[in-house]
Amino acid sequence: MAKASDRDGEDDADRHVARWRDHWIDVDFDDEVEGAVVRMQHLVRHFREAKQRAVAQVGLQAFEYDTLHTLMIRDTPGHASPTDLATDLGVSPAGMTGRLDTLEKAGYVGRTVGKTDRRRVEVEITDAGADIWRQAMAIRGDAEDQVVNVLSKKEQIALNQLLKRMTLSVEAEGEQDH
Amino acid sequence: MAKASDRDGEDDADRHVARWRDHWIDVDFDDEVEGAVVRMQHLVRHFREAKQRAVAQVGLQAFEYDTLHTLMIRDTPGHASPTDLATDLGVSPAGMTGRLDTLEKAGYVGRTVGKTDRRRVEVEITDAGADIWRQAMAIRGDAEDQVVNVLSKKEQIALNQLLKRMTLSVEAEGEQDH
DNA sequence: GGACGTTACTTCGCTAGCGAACTATTCGTC
DNA sequence: GACGAATAGTTCGCTAGCGAAGTAACGTCC
């Protein structure tokens, strides 16, 4: 039943780390590293599930919302090429075609061939698409606020500084091999 | 006030937040909350991709490794019921059946019906399964170390304290509605 | 100015996973 | 002890996504 509440101070990650350490005394194992990774995974999973429930309220699936969202927050809001969206979203070109098929059929985006270069496709959001995205936006993010606001503003800033050091190292690393 | 973007350059999250803020001045929007969420998402995605590459070296897919791993680090290492594994891994019962089919066919786990309750199925790891899991373990986690060890031990502890406050709130919340 | 490589997207075959219906076993109640 | 409810797992139909091959348009170099 009440797992976290009766033994207060322990979260799933603590238990995870404890179990793991028991069986792997011989291997290089770092409690803090593993704890941080597991906790971030749990939090992200929570956010993903919360968002899924939220956008479902307006009749969108997670991947539809993600696509519309990525389409809207870019430098040219509401306009993009499939390739750009695919790289931003981290899906394959083939997957992007599928997503756009769904969104186009639902009437949330339109596809037009580029005039100068006819290989290119211009994805453009429709009024209906912008509308439902706005609706989803309005109810989305509450779960995130609720969790992150457990921390004070000061702590949030500290957290972001720590996280950012790591993301910067990841991004720098990713650029080496290209 | 020291925003995350002030000192050491911008990361993707900063750019993400900046773009979003531009188009959503009218909606309740919190830079620090959004930044933290996006950064954790990026890091988790990086870990997932890194692990995928790592376990592929021993010929495992991510979901196979995850399943073996969850099977091994539990209180009764190497033994579990499909339902337990499914809840731990966050997959549906049907999905679990599929995973176990794959692992069983590969010879990494065995399935036996419970003696006292014949509805139950006892999943047990095989020698081959334990073996390949150990191999995967050995090369796994390097990417995580590499990223998290950008921070000092002290910072890692601070990070974990912050993350833990959030995971505890998530876990407490999740138990209310059950 | 035509052959050849490149670019941008789509189609195809396949896989993992979900939700819902189904099967088999056990528990509870009278 | 028998019948209905509950539980554990599997089967089935379907969807999103991947990788590889395919198609169409553009660029280039001789």
Is the CA virtual torsion A33, A37, A42, A47 positive or negative? positive
Q: How sure is the predictor about B161, in pLDDT bands with cuts at 50, 70 and 90?
A: very high
Residue from A37, A13, A33, A17 nearest A25 by CA? A17
Q: Supply the DSSP symbol for A30.
A: -
Confidence of residue B147 (pLDDT cuts 50, 70, 90): very high
Q: Tell me whether residue B153 is exposed, middle or buried, using C-beta atoms within 10 angstroms of its C-beta: 0 to 12, 13 to 18, 19 or more.
A: exposed
Residue owning tokens 């005039």: A115
Give the dihedral sign, CA B60/B66/B70/B73: positive
pLDDT at A30: 82
pLDDT of residue A59: 93
- Res. B16: pLDDT tops 60: yes
Residue A4: which of B165, B26, B150, B79 has the closest Cα? B165
Q: How many CB pairs under 8 A join A and B?
A: 191
Q: Which residues of A touch B169 (CB under 8 A)?
A: 146-147, 150
Q: Which residue has 């890194």 as its token pair?
A: B50
> In this model, does residue B22 exceed pLDDT 90?
no
Percent residues over pLDDT 70 in chain A: 89
> CA A93 – C1' D22 distance (Å)?
14
Residues of A in contact with B19 (CB under 8 A): 73-75
Over residues A44-67, the pLDDT tens digits come to 988 988 888 889 999 999 999 999
Query: CA B23, CA A6: separation in Å to the nearest integer?
Result: 45
What single letter denotes the amino acid at residue A53?
Answer: R
What is chain A's mean pLDDT, rounded? 87
Which residue's entry shows tokens 């006892």? Answer: B122
In B91-169 the beta strands, taken as DSSP E runs, fall at: 109-113, 121-125
Which pLDDT score is estimated for A106?
Answer: 95
Here the tokens at position B153 are: 């031990």
Higher pLDDT, B73 or A61: A61
For residue A48, what are the CA distances in angstroms to A55, B4, B19, B110? 11, 24, 21, 33
Q: What whole-number distance in Å separates Cα of residue A33 and Cα of residue A40?
A: 11
Q: DSSP states of B10-68 as a string? A: --HHHHHHHHHHHH-TTS---HHHHHHHHHHHHHHHHHHHHHHHHHHTTT--HHHHHHH
Best of A3, A69, A142, A165 to substitute, by most chain B Cβ atoms within 10 angstroms, is: A165
Judge contact between A89 and A107, C-beta under 8 A: no
Check the CA dihedral A123-B37-B141-B76 and report its sign. Answer: negative
CB burial class (10 A; 0-12, 13-18, 19+) of residue A37?
A: buried
Average pLDDT over residues B156-174: 91
Share of chain B above pLDDT 90, in %: 59
pLDDT reported for residue B178: 41
Q: What is the CATH topology of the domain spanning A13-144?
A: Arc Repressor Mutant, subunit A (1.10.10)
Mean pLDDT value across residues B26-52: 86
Q: Map out the domains of chain B as residue ranges.
A: 23-167
**pLDDT tens, A141-178?**
788 888 999 999 999 999 999 999 999 998 887 665 54
| Residue A160 vs residue A28, higher pLDDT | A160
pLDDT at B29: 72
Q: What CA–CA distance (Å, rounded) separates A151 from B129?
A: 42
Question: Does residue B4 have a pLDDT over 60?
Answer: no
Report which of residues B24 and A115 the model is more confident about.
A115
- A111 pLDDT more than 60: yes
**Interface residues, strand C, Cβ cutoff 7 Å:** A 81-83, 93-94, 96-98, 100-101, 111, 117, 119-121; B 61, 63, 90-95, 98-99, 102, 116-119
Q: Do residues A143 and B33 touch, judged by C-beta distance below 8 A?
A: no
For residue A124, the cross-strand partners are A79, A110
- Is pLDDT at B5 greater than 50 in this prediction? no
Q: Which of B52, B88, B154, B162 to mutate to test the interface with A (most CBs of A within 10 A)?
A: B162
CA angle A119, A66, B94 (to 5 degrees): 110
In this complex, do B167 and A27 lie within 8 Å of one another by their Cβ atoms? no
Whether the pLDDT of residue A3 is over 60: the answer is no
Confidence of residue B20 (pLDDT cuts 50, 70, 90): confident
- DSSP code of residue B113: E
Q: Pick the residue with more confidence: B4 or B77?
A: B77
Closest residue to D27 (CA, C1′) = A117
CATH architecture of B23-167: Orthogonal Bundle (1.10)
